[in-house]
């Protein structure tokens, strides 16, 4: 039983990170109907920003950790908005395929620019937050897991409030339902799209730092696998659906953790994709998605 | 108030409007009638900035708005209720109205406009928390008009408000259109295939046929025009 609880806890904290990344994929899909493949590299840049900023604050402090987190989130928000402005906006009326190929190009650009600046060798992420273990019976909860869960819960609540309670959030939903009608209401779609990239990228940065706290070896290609998993999570939940992305992330993280702890651990990555295929067969629109025919 | 000069619009190689010109005076209800595919929707979409004209000029209140983007045009008080209503189906009625007031910052004015919308369309008030997609066609049209009124327009363009609506509701909606014009002094450009109805409520009319204006004049006179009668008014 305690073994199960331990794995569940580990799974949920991994899943929370996937969820943070998945939200960015799903929000951008919502407003632009394309998958931003460079998103996983923004996650990586978030971790590296955390790495460098972490050297500027004393280790093992809550305020230092939160400051690093906040500044990386702002940095990545700016990065995401810049990518959108320079790479995607000029292609606004181009076919989706062109935009997808551009996204792959931006992704490679970030990965290899990362190798030039950061070097290809893995680096050790500093422990910016205090580190302690709490044991409940035989279940061990690390402070990093608590931080992951607390930060993700807070960010998801904030995101929910932005999307459902603010003017720009309502505009985001309106643009994703019908960009032309939104424009007729006086919404500048470019501003909303830019804001969406900023928001998604900030969450990816938070994901990058939280991931690095638990898997402290970071390198410029570190985003590839978690990014792919988060992408699967977003599809699993129903692409374009915000609660779906969060749910998909949690499911994927939990399943992956349980598989890792079993005799099939070698197949843990394959399982993620097997789940995707199975869900897509039975619910093509994802768990919370509504099936709509893609307008071409 | 609105002046269109030699406006031409095409979709790729297909020409939809071929040098049309017309002008609309402040305070009037003007109608643009014509059969399916005549270019009515294209005209409205070009005025509101959703389409770029190939040639020609659009002036609103003396300003050249031909090259402005839709949100800049809305900001000048020119609102467009599009064909097919285009309400935000997964937003509540209330949120749809809030979107209509997107550019308004005066809370008092927003509240007054909301009260006005509810006074002309009381059904919307009853359904305020309902998802807009669950409304009936007529209610969705009311919402689309109400949403545009939330933008505090000086000039309102309506694209086939009678389309796909129960006949009982059509007359209600047309009464409200006249009321909006008379009580609020909002100038209205009404696009319709239902020419009888449109000529009844409007002062002047333009008849569009395959991208050309083929007839224009007082609605009263056009209603008795033999040629128009034969083509659009069912004999
Ligand atoms: N998106 C489009 N792409 C290509 N042709 C179009 C498009 N929309 C309209 N058209 C063509 O332009 C002409 C005018 O259409 P429209 O303005 O919708 O007419 P109306 O509103 O009077 O029915 C028609 O011949 C129509 O087929
Ligand atoms: Mg039309």
CATH of residue B103: 3.40.50.300
Which residues have C-beta within 8 Å of that of residue A30, sequence separation ≥ 6? Answer: A172, A173, A176, A196, A240, A242
DSSP assignment letter at A60: S
Question: According to the model, what pLDDT value does residue A268 have?
Answer: 85
Domain holding B159, by residue range, is 2-232
Radius of gyration of chain B (CA): 17
Summarize pLDDT for A179-214 with one digit per residue, the tens.
999 999 999 999 999 999 999 999 999 999 999 999
Cβ–Cβ contacts within 10 Å for residue A243, how many? 15
Q: Using CB atoms, which residue from B69, B89, B100 is nearest to A185? A: B100
Q: Give the chain B residue whose CA is nearest to the CA of A173.
A: B91
Number of domains forming the structure of chain B: 1
CB A124 within 8 A of CB A217: yes
Summarize pLDDT for A149-160 with one digit per residue, the tens.
999 999 999 999
C-alpha to C-alpha distance for A226 and A25, rounded to whole angstroms: 12
| Cβ contacts of A241 on chain B, cutoff 8 Å | none
Question: According to the model, what pLDDT value does residue B235 have?
Answer: 52
Instruction: Provide the mean pLDDT of chain A.
Output: 93
Summarize pLDDT for A102-121 with one digit per residue, the tens.
999 999 999 999 999 999 99
Rounded to the nearest angstrom, the gap between the alpha carbon of residue B61 and the centroid of all alpha carbons in its chain is: 17
Q: Please provide the distance, in angstroms rounded to a whole number, between the alpha carbons at the two ends of chain B.
A: 34
B137 CA to chain A: closest CA distance, Å? 17
Summarize pLDDT for A58-114 with one digit per residue, the tens.
999 999 999 999 999 999 999 999 999 999 999 998 999 999 999 999 999 999 999
| Cβ contacts of B71 on chain A, cutoff 8 Å | 183, 186-189
Mutate to test the pocket of ligand 1, among B8, B10, B11, B17 (most ligand atoms within 8 A of CB): B11
- The structure's pTM equals 0.93
Summarize pLDDT for A249-258 with one digit per residue, the tens.
999 999 999 9
Domain ranges of chain A: 13-222
C-alpha to C-alpha distance for A286 and A288, rounded to whole angstroms: 6
Ligand nearest to the CA of B210: 1
Q: Indicate which atom in ligand 1 lies nearest the CA of residue B208.
A: 22
Question: According to the model, what pLDDT value does residue A111 have?
Answer: 96
């Amino acid at each position: 039983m305690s073994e199960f609880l331990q794995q569940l806890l580990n799974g949920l904290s991994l899943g929370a990170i996937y969820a943070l990344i998945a939200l960015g994929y799903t929000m951008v899909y919502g407003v632009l109907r394309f998958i931003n493949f460079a998103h996983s590299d923004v996650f990586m840049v978030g971790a590296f920003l955390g790495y460098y900023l972490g050297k500027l604050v004393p280790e093992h402090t809550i305020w230092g950790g939160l400051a690093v987190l906040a500044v990386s989130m702002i940095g990545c928000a700016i990065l995401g908005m810049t990518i959108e402005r320079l790479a995607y906006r000029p292609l606004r009326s181009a076919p989706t395929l062109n935009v997808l190929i551009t996204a792959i190009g931006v992704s490679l650009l970030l990965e290899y620019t990362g190798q030039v600046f950061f070097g290809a060798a893995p680096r050790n992420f500093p422990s910016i937050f205090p580190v302690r273990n709490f044991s409940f019976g035989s279940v061990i909860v690390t402070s990093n897991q608590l931080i992951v869960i607390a930060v993700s819960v807070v960010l998801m609540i904030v995101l929910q409030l932005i999307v459902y309670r603010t003017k720009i959030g309502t505009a985001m939903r309106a643009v994703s339902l019908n960009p032309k009608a939104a424009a007729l209401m006086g919404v500048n779609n470019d501003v909303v799209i830019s804001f969406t990239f900023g928001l998604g990228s900030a969450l990816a940065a938070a994901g990058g730092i939280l991931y690095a706290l638990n898997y402290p070896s970071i390198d410029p290609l570190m985003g590839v696998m978690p990014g792919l998993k988060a992408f699967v999570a977003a599809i699993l939940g129903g692409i374009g659906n915000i609660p779906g992305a969060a749910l998909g992330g949690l499911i994927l993280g939990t399943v992956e953790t349980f598989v890792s702890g079993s005799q099939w651990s070698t197949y843990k990555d394959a399982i993620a994709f097997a789940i995707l295929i199975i869900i897509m067969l039975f619910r093509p629109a994802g768990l919370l998605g509504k099936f709509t025919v893609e307008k071409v | 108030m609105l002046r269109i000069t030699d406006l031409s619009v095409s979709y790729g190689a297909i020409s939809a409007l071929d040098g049309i010109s017309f002008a609309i005076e402040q305070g009037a209800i003007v109608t643009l009638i014509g059969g399916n595919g005549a270019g009515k929707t294209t005209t409205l979409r070009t005025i509101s900035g959703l389409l770029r004209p190939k040639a020609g000029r659009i002036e609103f209140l003396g300003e050249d708005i031909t090259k402005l983007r839709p949100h800049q045009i809305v900001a000048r008080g020119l609102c467009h209720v599009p064909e097919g209503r285009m309400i935000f189906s997964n937003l509540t009625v209330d949120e749809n109205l809030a979107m209509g007031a997107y550019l308004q910052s005066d809370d008092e004015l927003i509240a007054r406009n909301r009260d006005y919308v509810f006074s002309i369309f009381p059904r919307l008030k009853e359904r305020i928390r309902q998802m807009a997609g669950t409304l009936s066609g007529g209610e969705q049209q009311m919402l689309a008009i109400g949403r545009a009124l939330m933008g505090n327009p000086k000039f309102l363009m309506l694209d086939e408000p009678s389309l796909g609506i129960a006949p009982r509701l059509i007359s209600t909606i047309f009464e409200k259109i006249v009321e909006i014009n008379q009580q609020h002094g909002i100038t209205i450009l009404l696009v319709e295939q239902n020419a009888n109805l449109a000529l009844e409520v409007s002062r002047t009319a333009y008849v569009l046929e395959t991208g050309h204006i083929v007839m224009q004049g007082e609605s009263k006179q056009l209603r008795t025009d033999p040629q128009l009668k034969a083509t659009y008014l069912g004999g």
